[in-house]
Structure 1
Amino acid sequence: MKKISIIQRIHQEGVVAVLRGDSWRQVVQLAEQAIAGGIKVIEVTMTVPHALKAIEELASRYAWNHSDPAYNAVIGVGTVLDSETARAAILSGADFVVGPSLHLDTVKLCNRYRVPIMPGVMTIRDIQEALDLGVDVVKLFPGNQFGPSMIKDIKGPMPQANIMPTGGVNLTNLGDWIQAGAFAVGIGSDLTKDADATDDYSFVQTKAREYVEALKQARNLF
């Protein structure tokens, strides 16, 4: 099934580029550079003006099962606060949905259409409620408020929980998160800050390559 394949792909790729910007065209350019650098999972946040246009553009060009590696990527939506937004993004081509918190109606909507939903969680109770609702992956957010040891603490009573930290993940601590048992990691401003400062989007491609290499090294340590 497509849902299972998408979830497996996110785990396989290991790094999700969480992209924000001043315009949807800018985010498309950032996504192109990230994909060229090897990050094949893209999350377009709904804080981007006309974000659905960015999702439509990227989804028309890239596909999670595309035969050409240059156009093989998973395009999703983030910062989803309600089910209406989730539905609009899915119709625009989003392969997965991410929210900053656990929102019942959004989870139900995504489950109805068999689309992966990764809601934000901060507590054991949040995680248990997400599992009860059939959520496959939860987003530990903001990750910089916890640290990698939080995953081991969670997996003590809940080893079945798949956890993706987002917020504060960088090249320095990515290995710690992966070795702690992270399902994948979400990368935000650290991926794009050099490009934002210089208006040179090629910096995103360079940084993406560094993240892909850091992930490989972290996984090879097991």
Structure 2
Amino acid sequence: MVKKLNILNRIIECGVVAVVRAESEIEAEKISAACILGGIKAIEVTLTVPGALEVIRSLKTKFKEEELILGAGSVLDSETARLAILAGAEYIVSPCFDKNTAKLCNRYQVPYMPGCMTITEIKTAMEYGADIVKLFPGNTFDPSIIKSINGPVPQASLMPTGGVNLQNADQWIKNGAVAIGIGSDLTKPAKQGNFDEVSTLASQYCSIVREARAGMVVG
């Protein structure tokens, strides 16, 4: 339990989860390294990446524990979740809620962040032990949806993913998101081989989260 809480606290402290999709293992590793260089410690390697489990194993050997919080994304079932955990994934992220995946993650005290769209789905996920619920796809909502959900369900810790960008990231945080998940808006430059730009964007997202949180404290 202590390890699980530590992972969750580190993800929330960072405030940004980099969702890594790529066409190859090498590209996925380079994107991950660029994000880490830019200050994003929470890396979610999606299992849509060819050789994703090998990427997870490799990243675990190349970065120190304090540099990286490594998760597996696009996990649809408990069998895949177990393989990811054995490969070294410290948390599991899904585009949808799956009861068996939730049970497995609870069994091994691994944080599970399922994608949900409705309050009913969020409530169910929380009942099955999801400490952070991924609001997905985020581009179907306005950032104010966080406050709307937290009104009747203030105990819900929400992380929007999909549609979060430099223009609205601060609004998601100010409305109560505990973290934000960033995919293509962060990693797009990698398609042209510009990994330095990925690092720059990662740094910008981290700064936006810090400044938004600081403004909330001051306010």
TM-score grouping bracket, smaller chain normalisation: over 0.9
Equivalent residue for 2:199, pick from 198, 205, 210: 205
Runs (4 or more) in structure 1 with deviation over 4 Å come to: none
Asked if residue 120 in structure 1 is aligned to residue 111 in structure 2, the reply is no
| TM-score of the pair, normalised by structure 2 | 0.96
- Corresponding residue for residue 175 of structure 1: 170
Amino acid at match of 1:89: A
Deviation by residue 1:71-97 (Cα, 9 ceiling, x = unmatched): x11010000000011000000000100
Shift of 1:62: 2.4
Q: How does 1:104-119 map to 2 (within 5 A)?
A: 104-119=99-114
Amino acid at match of 2:214: N
Shift of 1:63: 4.1
Q: Partners in 1 of 2:179 and 2:168 — Cα distance? A: 13
- Corresponding residue for residue 12 of structure 2: 11
Tell me, yes or no, if the aligned pair for 1:120 and 1:138 is still in contact at 8 Å. Answer: yes
Deviation by residue 1:134-167 (Cα, 9 ceiling, x = unmatched): 1101000000101211111110110000000000
Note the residue ranges of structure 1 that are not aligned, 5 or more in a row: 67-71
Q: How does 1:73-84 map to 2 (within 5 A)?
A: 73-84=68-79
- Corresponding residue for residue 127 of structure 2: 132
Q: Secondary structure at the match of 2:162?
A: coil
Deviation by residue 1:20-62 (Cα, 9 ceiling, x = unmatched): 0001111001000100010110000000011000000011222
Note the residue ranges of structure 2 that are not aligned, 5 or more in a row: none
Tell me, yes or no, if the aligned pair for 1:62 and 1:74 is still in contact at 8 Å. Answer: no
- Corresponding residue for residue 217 of structure 1: 211
Distance change in 2, residues 1:191/1:103 (3 Å): same
Q: Secondary structure at the match of 2:114?
A: strand
How many residue pairs were aligned? 215
Q: Secondary structure at the match of 2:188?
A: helix
Asked if residue 153 in structure 1 is aligned to residue 148 in structure 2, the reply is yes
Asked if residue 54 in structure 1 is aligned to residue 52 in structure 2, the reply is no
Q: Secondary structure at the match of 1:148?
A: coil
- Corresponding residue for residue 69 of structure 1: none
| TM-score of the pair, normalised by structure 1 | 0.95
Q: Partners in 2 of 1:56 and 1:207 — Cα distance? A: 25
Asked if residue 102 in structure 1 is aligned to residue 97 in structure 2, the reply is yes
